[in-house]
């Protein structure tokens, strides 16, 4: 569990504090920390284009244009949360991207559980939720060259010490922070270190183990499997029961007419769990 001392909880992010006690080989070893950027993903994509090594971490105390999936805004007030992006250079097959984003979601959920004891669950495709409210989201962006993957940037927003009153009214029932769920502040640096370690571990097993293993771990933490959902895409929507994932990490939905449909995460605007109080 992460330290209770309130003085540590309020520590600002500094490169030295982040590196001290970090037990990774590559993730976070090259580190660019900013007070404020438009989006850590944008900055990381620029560093990646300039040849930054795999595992390079781009981190900011605040973002002015933090972005989520489907062009949504990611609320990024200063010094409360974690906004980070990691540069990855996996082998060039773009079909594996969806699976890597599920792997990263597992790493975030496991970090939350280990650091706080809170039950973190996964809502497909990229949401990490605690007590049915979103606490973290992932945004994976890639650069391709002639159909091969040049690099990936994994962006993670994790609401750590954000308070409910900092959220707009329309998000208060569906978004939360670790502090709100735990009733105390957390040290962002310790949390970040554990997150980088977990991401590196999961990334290694993602590269060496068959896709089935990734999906098994994802499924164990999923709150979407078995649910009746409505999946909204830009031009249509489907309702049905989630019965699993393809080896590439796309959702398999059994529609009410019992036909199966496969939905890729890139095509999804929103997944509504039909029996949930809030989503």
Number of residues near ligand BTN (by CB under 6 A)? 20
User: Is 110 a binder of ligand BTN (CB under 6 A)?
Assistant: no
Which residue in the set 108, 120, 138, 189 belongs to the binding site for ligand BTN (CB under 6 A)?
138
Q: Is 137 in the site for ligand BTN (CB under 6 A)?
A: yes
**In this chain, which of 2, 17, 41, 102 binds ligand BTN, going by CB under 6 A?**
41
Q: CA-to-CA distance for 76 and 243, rounded, in angstroms? A: 35
Integer Cα distance of 64 and 45 in angstroms: 17
74 vs 203, which CB is nearer to ligand BTN? 74
Query: Which lies closer to ligand BTN via its Cβ, residue 75 or residue 247?
Result: 75
Q: Which of 139, 152, 175, 229 binds ligand BTN (CB under 6 A)?
A: 139
Residue with tokens 């790493």: 107
Regarding 74 and contact with ligand BTN (CB under 6 A), the answer is yes
Stretch that binds ligand BTN, among 38-46, 115-123, 210-218, 234-242 (CB under 6 A): 38-46
Please state the three-class secondary structure of the chain as a single string.
CCCCCHHHHCCCCCHHHHHCCCCCCCCCCCEEEEEEECCHHHHHHHHHHCCCCCCCEEEEEEECCCECHHHCECCCCCCCCEEEEEEECCCCCHHHHHHHHHHHHHHHHHHHHHHHCCCEEEECCCEEEECCEEEEEEEEEEEEECCEEEEEEEEEEECCCCCHHHCCHHHCCCECCHHHHHCCCCCHHHHHHHHHHHHHHHHHHHHHCCHHHHHHHHHHHECCCCCEEEEECCCCEEEEEEEEECCCCCEEEEECCCCEEEECHHHCCEEEECCCCCC
Among 126, 177, 224, 227, binds ligand BTN (CB under 6 A): 126
Stretch that binds ligand BTN, among 26-34, 36-44, 198-206, 239-247 (CB under 6 A): 36-44
Q: Pick the piece of the chain touching ligand BTN (CB under 6 A) from 18-26, 34-42, 235-243, 270-278.
A: 34-42
Give the interface segment with ligand BTN, choosing from 3-11, 136-144, 176-184, 212-220 (CB under 6 A).
136-144
Nearer to ligand BTN, 137 or 211 (CB): 137
Q: Under rule CB under 6 A, which residues in 75-94 are in contact with ligand BTN?
A: 83-85
Q: Does residue 157 interact with ligand BTN by CB under 6 A?
A: yes
Q: Does 72 bind ligand BTN (CB under 6 A)?
A: yes
By beta-carbon proximity to ligand BTN, the closer residue of 18 and 240 is 18
CA–CA gap between residue 186 and residue 115 (Å, rounded):
9
The contact set with ligand BTN (CB under 6 A) reads 39-41, 63, 66-69, 72, 74, 83-85, 126, 137-139, 155-157
């Amino acid at each position: 569990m992460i330290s209770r001392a309130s003085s540590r909880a309020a520590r600002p992010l500094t490169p030295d504090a982040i590196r001290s006690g970090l037990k990774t080989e590559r993730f976070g070893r090259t580190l660019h920390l900013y007070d404020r950027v438009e989006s850590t993903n944008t900055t990381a994509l620029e560093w990646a284009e300039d040849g930054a090594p795999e595992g390079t971490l781009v981190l900011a105390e605040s973002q002015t244009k933090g972005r989520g999936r489907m062009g949504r805004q990611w609320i990024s007030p200063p010094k409360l949360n974690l906004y980070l992006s990691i540069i990855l250079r996996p082998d060039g097959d773009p079909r594996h991207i969806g699976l890597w984003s599920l792997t990263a979601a597992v790493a975030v959920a496991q970090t939350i559980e280990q650091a706080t004891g809170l039950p973190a669950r996964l809502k497909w495709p990229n949401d990490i939720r605690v007590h049915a409210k979103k606490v973290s989201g992932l945004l994976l962006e890639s650069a391709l060259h002639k159909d091969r993957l040049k690099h990936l940037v994994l962006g993670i927003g994790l609401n750590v010490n954000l308070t409910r009153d900092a959220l707009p009214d329309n998000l208060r029932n569906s978004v939360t922070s670790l502090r709100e769920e735990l009733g105390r502040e957390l040290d962002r640096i310790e949390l970040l270190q554990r997150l980088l370690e977990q991401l590196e571990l999961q990334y290694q097993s993602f590269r060496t183990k068959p896709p089935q293993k990734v999906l098994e771990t994802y499924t164990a933490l999923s709150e979407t499997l078995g649910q009746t959902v409505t999946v909204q895409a830009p031009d249509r929507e489907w309702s049905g029961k989630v019965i699993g994932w393809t080896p590439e990490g796309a959702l398999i939905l059994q529609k009410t007419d019992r036909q199966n449909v496969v939905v890729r995460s890139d095509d999804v605007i929103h997944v509504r769990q039909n029996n949930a109080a809030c989503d």
